[in-house]
Amino acid sequence: MTALNEPTIAADEPRPTRVEVDLDVLADNYRVIAAHVAPARVMPILKANAYGHGLVEVARVLERLGAPYVGVAYLEEGLRLRQHGVRLPVLVLGGILGSQIPRFLEHGLTLAASSVDKLRAIEEHAAALGRPATVHLKIDTGMERIGVHWYSAEALLEASLRCRHVRVEGIFTHFANADAPDLAHARLQLERFAEVLRFYERRSLPPPLRHAANSGAILQLRESHLDLVRPGILFYGARPSADVPASLPVRQALRWLTRVVFFKVVKAGHPVSYGGEWVAPAETRVVTLPVGYGDGYARAMSGRAEVIVHGKRYPVVGRICMDQIMVSIGRDSAYNGDEVVLLGGEGDTAIPIEQMAAWAGTIAHEILTSINTRVPRVYRGG
């Protein structure tokens, strides 16, 4: 792992802007969630580069922890895990094209079978290649994204019993509103899923692994935990929405840092940045930081964002640029090379993911997944 206690920029660090990920915090979050949902087990969701934390590095930690499964969105994410030696079971949750099926089988990735036609295509490819396929059946109980509707799911389940080259390991659905204060729709979706599952009871068959609970349902809908749960944003230490109580002691594992690269004094009445929307009300010291919306530091935060310099919060002033932002530090001092916290904590001062999301008018998920890959990741622990 890269050392983090070096006060100067490391030789292998191409930029003064970086993301630090504490893998021990992620391991703790996994254990907290696992204890909360037991006897259900935990399938962390690692799509979108593990919510910006680093797909391969996070998967390796989970493999050491004995996680039963991880979930990703796309085939290429699963392939990347295999190419880097990760042998954990991987469920690809998103929709697939028929032409992709052989790649799933070649690399031992689990498919989401979302229709009778998709299931038949998987069966045909598996038979032709002589490689058994593992699938989880996707039931749409009210998200209207992918999956067979709950009211016509019996045809998919019947077809799955006739497959000879497909192993139906799981069956799942996804909540649309489990992070809302009103859980009526989530409970309706769970009832619909239970209705589908009665197919197995009527035939005296054991059901496959059942899973439905995302982060919101893990926190608010215990009856949805079933056999597996699928934490996304919760695993990374944030609430799925402001409406969900922070009832589990998960912690933010990611810090976004940069360094001062320029210092100037701006006179009273002088505008800063594009459009001149911010004008210095009095003479002030302004530092420039090498980060911007090209890195995922959202332009929508202009006029709202703050950063931490020497343990104190200061406002970002003027419009956020593609590659740089300016910060007013008043009469305080900062020097070239001084470290600045964009996201996360320093001492007793912190900028949580939820606050940055509020500045940008979005959700924590988008903040994390928008941090560009040109921002290097540095890891500790694990």
Residues paired with 90 in a beta bridge: 70
- pLDDT averaged over every residue in the chain: 94
Q: Judging by DSSP bridges, how do beta strands 133-140 and 166-172 pair with one another?
A: parallel
Buried b (16+ CB within 10 A) or exposed e, 281-291: eeebbbbbbbb
Q: What integer pLDDT is reported at residue 13 of this predicted model?
A: 52
Q: Please, what are the domains in the chain? A: 39-229 (3.20.20.10), 254-380 (2.40.37.10)
Q: By percentage, how much of the chain surpasses pLDDT 90?
A: 92
Backbone φ/ψ region at 361: left (φ over 0), alpha (ψ -120 to 50), beta: left
Side chain identity at residue 1, one-letter code: M
Digit-coded pLDDT (tens) for 353-379 = 999 999 999 999 999 999 999 999 999
Digit-coded pLDDT (tens) for 208-230 = 999 999 999 999 999 999 999 99
Q: What integer pLDDT is reported at residue 246 of this predicted model?
A: 85
Digit-coded pLDDT (tens) for 126-163 = 999 999 999 999 999 999 999 999 999 999 999 999 99
- Out of 30, 47, 236, 379, pick the active-site residue: 47
151: annotated active-site residue: no
47: annotated active-site residue: yes
Enumerate the H helices of the chain as residue ranges: 23-37, 47-51, 55-65, 75-83, 101-106, 116-129, 153-162, 184-202, 215-220, 353-360, 364-369
Instruction: Please return the burial class of 203, using the count of CB atoms within 10 Å of its CB with bins 0-12, 13-18 and 19+.
Output: exposed
- Out of 69, 74, 267, 274, pick the active-site residue: 274
pLDDT higher than threshold 70 for residue 261: yes
- Look up the pTM and report it: 0.92
